[in-house]
Amino acid sequence: MSLDYCILNELSYPFVDQYDAKKGLETFVRTYQKIGEIGLKTLRLPAEINSIHYLPLAPNYLLLNYLNDSDVNIDIKDRIREILTDAPFIHDDEFDIKEKSENSEFRFQLNGESVIAQGLGVAYLLDTLCLSFNSQEIWDCDFISLLRIDYEKTEQVKVKHSSKPEHFTAHKSYFEQKKRDSLKESKELWQRRAEFFPHLEFLKQVEQQLELCGLSKHFFQIIERLKKLNNYAEKWKQEGGAYNNKVIEGLDVTGESVPTLNKYADERTFRLPNGEKKIFEQHIKTGDLRIHFYPDNQTRKIYVGYIGKHLRI
C-alpha cells in the first residue's frame, strides 16, 4: 500500500510539439495539485529517466529548454521545477519494490508496440496512482490496463491513473478510505504491540510516530521489519552472546558513522524507561524511513526509540 506518493508514467512523453508541451504542463500542475489534496504530495520518477533536466517534452524541446523559456508563465515554471527537478527516483532494488516485483514484467500497448511500463507497473505493485502527461488521447483516462507477466501466469491488470484533475474523482474515495484504514491500523498496532512484538520494547514517543507512519507508503513494510527484529530479539535472549547486526536475517541494519555521531548524536539519543540516556545508532532502512533501536547487551533487550524520516547525517 502506498499513500503519500504517486509515480510518473515515463511513457507519457513527448508531446507533439512545444505548444502542446506548454499547455500539457499547465494541466500537469493542476492535476498534481488536485491529487495532493488527499495526501499524494510527492512524485517519484522511474529509474529509466536518466536525467530529469533532459526529459524530451517535445521534438528539440527538453525540460531544460522549458525551464529557460521566457514565454512560459513563471509561476507554472516554478511549480514544474519544484515538482519534477526535486522528485526522487524509484529503483528496482528498493526493498519494498523488489519484494513485490521480482519475476514480474509489465507491458503496455503504445502506438501499436508492446513496451515495458515501469512507472505504471510500480504504481500497480504499490497500489498507488500513476500520473501522466496528457500528451496523447490514450492517457486521457482514469484507469490504464497493463499486461503483467510472471513465471506463474500472464494477466491483465488495471492501474489507477490521472492525467487531468477530473480523473482523480474516480480515485478520491478509495484513497480517503485507505487513509482512514491505515490510521486505524496504526493505532491498533500500538495498542497490541506487546502481542505482536513481545520481545521488543517501544519508547513512548513511538506511539505518535507509528500513527504518522499509518499514513505512509511504508506502514506494512515497517510491520514486517519489526517482526524480523522481534525474531532476532527472541533468539538473542535464548542464545545469549553480544548483539550482532550481521546475523539479523532479512534486514538492512547498520550503525552510524563517526562523523554523523560527532555532529548529530543528540538527535539519536533517547531516554530508556529507567531514565538512562542512550544513543540509538542502530537502524533499519525501509524506503525513506528509519527504525532506530538500542540493543542492551546487559539485559539483551531491544528498545525501539524512533520510527520516522531519515535523521540528519
Among the residue ranges 41-45, 95-99, 112-116, the one predicted with the least confidence is: 95-99
HEC per residue, 10-69: CCCCCCCCHHHHHHHHHHHHHHHHHHHCCCCCEEEEECCCCCHHHCEEECCEEHHHHHCC
Q: How many CB atoms lie within 10 A of CB 114?
A: 10
Angle (deg, nearest 10), helices 169-191 and 219-239: 20
What whole-number percentage of the chain has pLDDT above 90? 68
3 state DSSP class of 281 = coil
d(CA 240, CA 242): 7
Q: Examine residue 14 and say whether the peptide bond preceding it is cis (omega within 30 degrees of 0).
A: yes
d(CA 91, CA 48): 9
Question: In which residue are the cell numbers 504504481 written?
Answer: 123
pLDDT category at 83 given cuts 50, 70, 90 is: very high
d(CA 279, CA 40): 34
Residue type, 69: D
- Which pLDDT score is estimated for 95? 47
Query: Higher-confidence residue: 126 or 98?
Result: 126
The DSSP secondary structure of 112-143, one letter per residue, reads: TEEEE-HHHHHHHHTT--EE----SGGG-SSE
Per-residue model confidence as pLDDT tens digits over 1-14: 445 789 999 999 99
Residue type, 290: R
Q: What is the mean pLDDT of residues 79-103?
A: 72
The answer to whether 304 touches 296, Cβ cutoff 8 Å, is no
Per-residue model confidence as pLDDT tens digits over 147-180: 999 878 899 999 999 999 999 999 999 988 887 7
**Residues with Cβ within 8 Å of residue 109, at least 6 apart in sequence:** 115
pLDDT > 50? residue 133: yes
pLDDT > 80? residue 92: no
d(CA 218, CA 288): 9
The DSSP secondary structure of 147-213, one letter per residue, reads: EEEESS-EEEEEEEEESSGGGGHHHHHHHHHHHHHHHHHHHHHHHTHHHH-TTEEE-TTHHHHHHHH
Which H or E run includes 248?
Answer: none
Per-residue model confidence as pLDDT tens digits over 198-231: 999 999 999 989 887 766 667 778 888 999 999 9
